[in-house]
Amino acid sequence: MADNHTHTEHLDSETGKLGMWIFLFTELFLFGGLFLVYAIFRAKYSADFHIAAGELNAFVGTMNTVFLLVSSMTAAMALTAVQKGDRRLTIFLLLITILLAALFMVNKYFEWSHKFEYGIWPGSPVLKNMSHGELLFFGLYYMMTGLHALHVLIGMILLSINVVKVKTGAVNSERFLMLENSALYWHLVDLIWIFLFPLLYLIT
């Protein structure tokens, strides 16, 4: 019944990349939906959103933006390095990317703990006594930055797997689709933050 295939290994990198992009489209709509909810409620409760957004630390937000932008560049450079067959440089650049992602998470940890100290966490008594608009702002803030932070964690895991694969030679200058797709994922994480940052931290 089963045919004996002569070539068991087949890698169509163009199709593989297209598949990744289609997945990224679903991710864009996942966050896009949240952006839309944010935009509508911001229009409805602009005064409350103004007060609540003022609570956020724009400096921490800016720092995290810089971390993600630089890490996006090192991820793109890692792809260049692997294509050129420079294994050591690829691993080095991937590790820098992971380090920057970790710094982003550390920053996020302090940012959230600072909010928790003031009694602001989802469902907290302090939050329940706030106005409807402020409640919505912080709900969306935790939902959007939380979902984004989850993506950062997944990105860190993906990049770490790539470090191992480059080390063992499973990802090399001939076969680098996995690294390419992981880099695409990482750029998406950056891309979403580019919109999250002004919406939450800058526009008050």
Partner 1 sequence: MNHEEKHISTYQSLVIVLVILLFLTTISVLVTGFHLGALTVAVALLIASIKVFIVLTRFMHLKFENRFLRLAVAGVFVLFALVTVITFIDYFFR
Binding site for partner 1 (CB under 8 A): 17-18, 21, 25, 28-29, 32, 36, 39-40, 43, 58, 62, 65-66, 69-70, 72-73, 75-77, 79-80, 83-84, 183-184, 187, 190-191, 194-195, 197-199, 202-204
Closest approach, Cβ 138 to partner 1, in A, equals 20
> What is the nearest approach in angstroms of partner 1 to the Cβ of residue 136?
15
Classify 187 as helix, strand or coil.
helix
Residue 17 or 108: which CB sits closer to partner 1?
A: 17
Using the minimum distance from each CB to partner 1, give the nearer residue, 127 or 144: 144
Torsion, Cα of 127, 130, 133, 136 (10° steps): 10
Can you give the C-alpha Rg of the chain in angstroms?
A: 20
CA dihedral over 89, 63, 146, 34, signed as positive or negative: negative
The nearest distance, CB 119 to partner 1, in angstroms, is: 27
Q: How far is the CB of 62 from partner 1 (least distance, A)?
A: 6
Tokens of 187: 């750029």
The distance of closest approach from Cβ of residue 177 to partner 1 in the complex, given in angstroms and rounded to an integer, is: 12
**Are 188 and 24 within 8 A, CB to CB?**
yes
- Smallest gap from Cβ 131 to partner 1, in A, equals 20
The dihedral over CA atoms of 91, 108, 147, 97, expressed in degrees to the nearest 10, equals -10
Nearer to partner 1, 66 or 106 (CB): 66
Question: Looking up tokens 């229009």, which residue turns up?
Answer: 43
Q: How many whole angstroms separate alpha carbon 76 and alpha carbon 90?
A: 10
At a CB cut-off of 8 Å and minimum separation 6, what does 94 contact? 74, 75, 78, 159, 162, 163, 166
**Nearest residue (CB) to partner 1, 66 versus 157:** 66
